[in-house]
Amino acid sequence: MSRFVSITEARAMSGLRMACLRAVPSPWTEAAKGIFHVKGLDCQYAGQSEDDPENAIAQWAGDSSAPVVAYDDEPLRTGWAGILLLAERLAPDTPLLPADFEGRAVVMGLAHEICGEMGLGWAARNLLVGEGFASEGASGFHPKVGKFLAGKYGYREEEDYRGRVIQILEGLSARIAGRRFLVGDSLTAVDIYWAVFSNLLAPLPEEKLPMHPRFRQMWETAPAEVKAAASGELMAHRDRIYDEYLETPAVL
């Protein structure tokens, strides 16, 4: 199976498929890849190609955002929770959600703090938008990119994105202290989400996460105060999750 096919080809297939943005390490997409990899699920990746009509993802899903996950003729899934629950159903023997109510609630809650609106990914993205506007592109996203992202994801100048990111990083740092996993005594989805989303603030080296130099520059310019909120133990946890569970180098 080719790692990537066109969007048009993917739409005509059955089974598990995912539309991605090529060459862009979107944490939402990379987290879904990580979940499928850990569970041993065969997923056909797809990306915009020269054989596709313009904005093929939007024509398929109604929006240009990725990832878009399809399974047979079921409704498309674009949100992190729906994608995770589908993976849990398709590969129940490798669970990433605890069986007990309390554990499941904690994992889903922490996952929302990382993946959901005003979570780590959302707030870090808008933080880098603001950094780009303030520095005229010397740090954060280039203003042209920032303008697009600001309109699409509701950037508000008055919002304290920096404080929100710091709050989440400090909370995760406190939680991992003295522990091997963020929840319980085995790998859960929240360990994968943290590992992948951490790249927005401190990207893995090129040999593990290849990306366009401009993206790397944007992600590496997160404010020092923000980076300092992630403990050494939390960052070491990120590295261990990649080394022991996730595919490297990442396939973009």
The model's pLDDT over 227-247, given as tens digits with 9 standing for 90+, comes to 999 999 999 999 999 999 999
The model's pLDDT over 196-235, given as tens digits with 9 standing for 90+, comes to 999 999 999 999 999 888 888 888 988 999 999 999 999 9
* Cα first-last separation, the chain: 16
Note the pLDDT of residue 212: 85
Distance CA 55, CA 52 (A): 8
Note the pLDDT of residue 210: 92
Question: Count of alpha carbons within 13 Å of 57, Cβ hemisphere only?
Answer: 21
The edge-to-edge listing of strands for the beta sheet with 16-19 is 4-6, 44-47, 16-19, 68-71
Angle at which helices 120-135 and 161-176 cross, to 10°:
140
Q: Both tokens of residue 102?
A: 């309390």
Domains delineated in the chain: 4-90 (3.40.30.10), 101-245 (1.20.1050)
Query: What's the gap between Cα 103 and its chain centre?
Result: 22
Residues of the chain with pLDDT under 50: none
Sign of CA dihedral 86, 108, 33, 243: negative
Residue 133 sits at the vertex; the CA angle it makes with 127 and 134, to the nearest 5 degrees, is 90
Note the pLDDT of residue 44: 98
Distance CA 214, CA 252 (A): 15
